[in-house]
Structure 1
Amino acid sequence: MTKLKQTTGFKKMIAPYEKSSILKSVWQIFNTFTPFFVLWYAAYWCLSISYWLTLVLTIVTAGLLVRIFIIFHDCCHGSFFANRTANEIVGTIAGILTCSPFYQWRFSHSVHHATNGNLDRRGTGDIWTLTVQEYLDLPWQKRLGYRLYRNPLILFVLAPIYVFLIEYRFNRKEAKIRERLNTYTINLGIAALAALLCWIVGWKAFLLVQGPTFLISGVAGFWLFYVQHQFEHSYFERNENWSYVDAALHGSSFYQLPKVLQWFTGNIGYHHIHHLSPRVPNYYLEQAHVENPMFQSSHPVTLLSSLRSIHFRIWDEHRKKLLGFGYIKRFKMEQNKRKSA
């Protein structure tokens, strides 16, 4: 099957799920934003009882913030509402709550979708991934930098803090005026909301509630994105062999989560379906997967098996596998044997 025929066939298969439902979208806004604000206030109220109780509530609140980000994500793709303006308004509001610039993120994420798994077009909206040979060709300082970047503490704890609080506050160099104004609007919205809450509940109470909520949701968000593209049966190819469909179905994981976590993460575990067509709203992803056996050929990644993804740090172009840093020594030994043979 040629790439064109393959892509056309899957487009026909996925097309019935690409139309958003105003009722489902409005209901999802209600059942996500309302409990988020209620639980945030409940966590604040519990400060007078026990901070441990507050921390428990912030875990659930953080889960709802992840779900708000999924709504933001769908709005960026223009899939949450049929109306473009509605997507931009809701996406901007969700962007304020998640500290994410709508127009800027929409651009980088669209590039990510167009280049996912393409070894010749890496670098925008993705996880920094080197091939074994690329790593070996680097000077030791850059090798150290890559190893530090791939350290779980940096990648899943420090990186979310840096990205959401600092990096997203600035525009891209190439950003046009509309994108720049949107970033400024979201920055002002974040500052205004934080100032308002500090005035109402006090800055200490605000930090005690918002701090863990932000950190937990950030860690969860980074982990989800990581597992969606860094897993055992992942896919990377050079441009001449790269296929959009293969990159979607094999380079984006089917993260088989328990139902409660699937709800909090807005079905984003069906990431192979999402990459095949970002026009499918999150509430139709599971249906598309279940009703089409072809999509079920993707190897599911479970909560337990996803923990192995921490060790997948470098791509071997010969074996077509993500491997750990420990493989590099073996690769060099095999390389030396081939040279001496």
Structure 2
Amino acid sequence: MTCADPIENGSALRTPKQLLIASKAFASEHRMLSWWHLWSSLAVIFVLLGTSVSSLPLWIRIPASITAGLVTVRLFIIYHDYQHSAILGGSWIARWIMSVYGMWVLAPTSVWKHSHDVHHRKNSQTFGDNVGSYPIMTTHAYANAVASERFSYAASRHPLTIVLGYFTVFIWRMCLQAFISNPREHLDGGLSIVLHIALAIVLAMFGFDVMMLGLIVPLFVASGLGAYLFYAQHNYPSAKLYPSDDWSHVDAALQSSSFIPMNPLMNWFTGNIGYHHVHHLNARIPFYRLPEAMAALPELQTPGITTLNPGDIAACLRLKLWCPEQEKFVGFNGI
């Protein structure tokens, strides 16, 4: 729809500027609610991790460890919102907690904030190996690329790269690569790796199972799910990309950022990040107000949709290149 199209109540949709202004009504936190979400989530993960490293039977510890990975995703969204200054701004307690959390999940503050801020400024605007996002090549660029460039590009978007996000996205790209490229600016990237190895060694002293269930499995689950969610938020069948000259912030939010409907439990685990088009419209809206904003603003109620159903996941993963002629993502075979 265009901004002049009628909606159900007969009124006209807002212009992009009006929509941005309207979204500001939701871009304020309820401070006590923000603290509740943080402390309650921390309490849940401490219980789950404690259970994971306990002497209880494995049939209890393994599900606890996997669930701890899902709660880690929730905490990542809280961390993500804090970095956007959507919640808990100005609190030294929150700053300390978020810094420690970023180190623990191998997404240190300096690296995450830099890459993610660039992603928000450039979402759907450019092609290539964008900072903070999965690289995108057009069909023409890929056809003219040398073999090594094609291999590197295909590997970066391969399903295994996403599933193994613990190694590919977080250990390598978010920590080691960032530290190696700029050790002064991203010292916390190197420090995260050192602390991660130290924690693994300490836990291994109590048993290999303690290390795996108390550290590796939760982060492996969280990294894989997080890497896929980030992929599907901008790489889905109906997504639209724009040359820089035609780009606008609102178009990028409404046409290049997906809505992933989930059941209430998965919305809790993922911190409502499925409402990603709302988040990209206004990153200052706290995660717990995203459904409220979508329900209140008609312009947000017809987004591009993908789901976590196996068929939709497969459809997203088949998308490899942007075809300017067809104005859609296609596979390497052009379909």
- What interval of TM-score do these two structures reach, taking the shorter chain for normalisation? 0.7 to 0.9
CA contact (8 A) 1:313 1:325 kept: yes
Cα 1:16–1:176 shift into 2, 3 Å? farther
CA distance in 1, matches of 2:95, 2:207: 32
The one-letter amino acid paired with 1:280 is I
What are the residue-to-residue correspondences of 1:135-214 with 2, within 5 Å?
Answer: 135-153=142-160, 155-170=161-176, 171=178, 179-183=185-189, 186-187=192-193, 190=196, 193-194=199-200, 197-198=203-204, 201-202=206-207, 204-214=209-219
CA distance in 1, matches of 2:122, 2:174: 21
CA contact (8 A) 1:6 1:245 kept: no
Structure 1 ranges of 4+ moved more than 6 A: none
Cα offset, 1:121, TM superposition = 7.5
Aligned twin of 2:57: 49
Pick the aligned partner of 1:31 from 36, 40, 50. Answer: 40
Aligned twin of 2:248: 243
The one-letter amino acid paired with 2:166 is P
CA distance in 2, matches of 1:180, 1:313: 30
Report the RMSD for the aligned CA atoms in angstroms.
2.5
CA contact (8 A) 2:111 2:175 kept: no
Cα 1:86–1:209 shift into 2, 3 Å? closer
Q: Which moved more, 1:75-84 or 1:20-29?
A: 75-84
The one-letter amino acid paired with 1:49 is P
CA contact (8 A) 2:104 2:192 kept: no
CA distance in 1, matches of 2:181, 2:217: 34
Cα 1:210–1:30 shift into 2, 3 Å? same
Aligned twin of 1:339: none
Structure 1 residue 105 corresponds to structure 2 residue 117? no
Pick the aligned partner of 1:18 from 18, 21, 27. Answer: 27
Aligned twin of 2:9: none
User: SS where residue 284 of structure 2 aligns?
Assistant: coil
Q: Which moved more, 1:234-243 or 1:118-127?
A: 118-127
Instruction: Give per-residue Cα distances to partners, 1:15-47, cap 9 Å, x unaligned.
Output: 01111222111101122111101111112225x
CA contact (8 A) 2:164 2:220 kept: no
User: SS where residue 126 of structure 2 aligns?
Assistant: coil
The one-letter amino acid paired with 1:320 is E
Cα offset, 1:64, TM superposition = 0.5
What are the residue-to-residue correspondences of 1:218-229 with 2, within 5 Å?
Answer: 218-229=223-234
CA contact (8 A) 1:19 1:82 kept: no
The one-letter amino acid paired with 1:111 is V
Aligned twin of 2:86: 79
Pick the aligned partner of 1:279 from 264, 276, 284. Answer: 284
Structure 1 residue 309 corresponds to structure 2 residue 316? yes
User: SS where residue 236 of structure 1 aligns?
Assistant: coil
CA contact (8 A) 1:78 1:84 kept: no
Instruction: Give per-residue Cα distances to partners, 1:239-296, cap 9 Å, x unaligned.
Output: 1111111001110101111111011000000000111111111111111111112110
Pick the aligned partner of 1:325 from 315, 320, 332. Answer: 332
CA distance in 2, matches of 1:62, 1:288: 28
TM-score by length of 2: 0.87
CA contact (8 A) 1:21 1:81 kept: no
CA distance in 1, matches of 2:284, 2:87: 8
Aligned twin of 1:336: none
The one-letter amino acid paired with 2:168 is Y
Aligned twin of 2:10: none
CA distance in 2, matches of 1:250, 1:85: 37
CA distance in 1, matches of 2:289, 2:321: 33
CA distance in 2, matches of 1:184, 1:161: 15
TM-score by length of 1: 0.85
Which structure: greater helix fraction? 1
